[in-house]
């Protein structure tokens, strides 16, 4: 939260500086409050099981778009889950059906910086990088393994840290001096570095791969000079590929030894809707 507040003041200062320099074309800062519905799915190979959970979270998003010159601009976006909720995760085996339920919590934060190249004043090619941190927390796990042993645990935290490169296209209708403003962007990214850890397997790091896709847009109406209020919508998809099996030495189901473990294939689908407040001082 402190990092988001720091970014909030930073982007406000950037907007003010650009306005002073006379570069107000499609230059603004923004703050978004909204709700996000997240569906998370896993598919394992060592155990013939899949899992699925859907959770509703509140989100906050802040950042801005800043004009550089007639050909270039850049944007900063920071999104975070705010007060995450928990939901029931269901584990399914093909021949049995649902045989395990536990509590699931999804917590995500990301920061992205993109350079905009203006093909036209309103249409831009965009490219850049981003940092993503995602935590998946499970509690009440009571899972039967392939050798009939039962895995019981308190809270299991799986944490993924990723650095992405992203590219795509964006549209900006104009500056906040206009009565209506609308814009959006589509990006596709792949991780250049990714690591996932799981408290169930201490000391083991999974080197993961995958991709993500992001679609977002907003429509706003001028309340005051260079001040807008509007609606924001976003669709996000992320796939994390299967990693392993790997050999891990440790204690599992109260038995120390060497185990073959894996990081299942994971998929995140998120739909967000919120209110956006935009300004250019």
- Work out the average pLDDT over 171-191: 95
Which single residue is written with the structure tokens 């981003």? Answer: 130
For the chain, the C-alpha Rg in angstroms (whole number) is 22
pLDDT of residue 170 exceeding 50, the answer is: yes
Q: For residues 206 and 193, is the Cβ–Cβ distance under 8 A? A: no
Q: Residue 149's pLDDT band (boundaries 50, 70, 90)?
A: low
Alpha carbons 239 and 191: distance in angstroms, whole number: 11
Torsion of CA 252, 258, 259, 263, to 10 degrees: 90
Q: Residue 5's pLDDT band (boundaries 50, 70, 90)?
A: very low
- For 262, the domain range is 2-279
CATH no. for residue 99? 2.40.128.100
Residue 150 is predicted with a pLDDT of: 57
pLDDT of residue 18 exceeding 60, the answer is: no
111: its two tokens: 């920061």
Q: Residue 147's pLDDT band (boundaries 50, 70, 90)?
A: low
Average pLDDT, the chain: 88
Residue 244 is predicted with a pLDDT of: 86
pLDDT of residue 123 exceeding 70, the answer is: yes
Residue 83 is predicted with a pLDDT of: 85
Residue 242 is predicted with a pLDDT of: 93
- Work out the average pLDDT over 143-172: 81
Please report, in angstroms and rounded to a whole number, the separation of the first and last CA atoms in the chain: 24
Beta bridge partners of 253: none
Residue 253 is predicted with a pLDDT of: 67
Residue 167 is predicted with a pLDDT of: 98
| Alpha-carbon distances of 36 from 4, 7, 138, 184, 209, rounded to whole Å | 18, 21, 19, 18, 25
- Work out the average pLDDT over 233-253: 90
Alpha carbons 207 and 3: distance in angstroms, whole number: 27
Alpha carbons 168 and 187: distance in angstroms, whole number: 4
- Work out the average pLDDT over 38-45: 94
- Work out the average pLDDT over 239-256: 85
Interval 79-100: pLDDT, tens: 999 889 999 999 998 888 887 8
Alpha carbons 269 and 37: distance in angstroms, whole number: 8
Domain count, the chain: 1
pLDDT of residue 3 exceeding 60, the answer is: no
Q: For residues 89 and 101, is the Cβ–Cβ distance under 8 A? A: yes
pLDDT of residue 24 exceeding 50, the answer is: no
Farthest CA pair distance, the chain: 70
- Work out the average pLDDT over 93-113: 91
Q: Residue 191's pLDDT band (boundaries 50, 70, 90)?
A: very high
Q: Is the model more confident about 25 or about 122?
A: 122
For residue 5, the surrounding DSSP H or E stretch is: helix 2-20
Q: Residue 212's pLDDT band (boundaries 50, 70, 90)?
A: very high
pLDDT of residue 161 exceeding 70, the answer is: yes
């Amino acid at each position: 939260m402190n990092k988001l507040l720091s970014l909030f003041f930073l982007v406000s200062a950037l907007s003010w500086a650009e306005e002073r320099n006379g570069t107000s074309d499609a230059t603004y800062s923004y703050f978004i409050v909204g709700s996000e519905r997240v569906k998370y799915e896993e598919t394992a190979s060592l155990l013939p099981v899949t899992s699925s959970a859907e959770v509703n979270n509140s989100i906050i998003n802040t950042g801005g778009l800043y004009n550089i010159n007639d050909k270039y601009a850049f944007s900063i976006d920071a999104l975070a889950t705010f007060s995450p909720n928990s939901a029931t995760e269901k584990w399914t085996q093909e021949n049995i059906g649902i045989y395990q339920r536990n509590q699931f919590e999804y917590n995500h934060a990301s920061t992205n910086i993109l350079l905009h190249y203006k093909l036209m004043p309103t249409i831009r090619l965009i490219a850049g990088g981003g940092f993503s941190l995602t935590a998946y927390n499970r509690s009440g796990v009571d899972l039967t393994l392939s050798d009939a042993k039962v895995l019981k645990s308190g809270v299991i935290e799986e944490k993924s840290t990723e650095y992405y490169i992203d590219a795509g296209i964006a549209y900006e209708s104009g500056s906040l001096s206009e009565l209506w403003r609308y814009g959006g962007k589509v990006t596709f990214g792949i991780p250049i570095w990714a690591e996932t850890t799981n408290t169930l397997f201490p000391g083991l790091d999974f080197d993961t791969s995958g991709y993500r896709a992001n679609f977002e847009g907003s429509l706003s109406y001028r309340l005051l000079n260079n001040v807008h209020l509007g609606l924001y919508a976003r669709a996000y998809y992320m796939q994390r590929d299967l990693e392993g099996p790997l050999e891990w030495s440790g204690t599992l189901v109260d038995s120390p030894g060497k185990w073959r473990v894996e990081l299942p294939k994971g998929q995140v689908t998120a739909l967000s809707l919120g209110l956006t407040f935009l300004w250019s001082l």
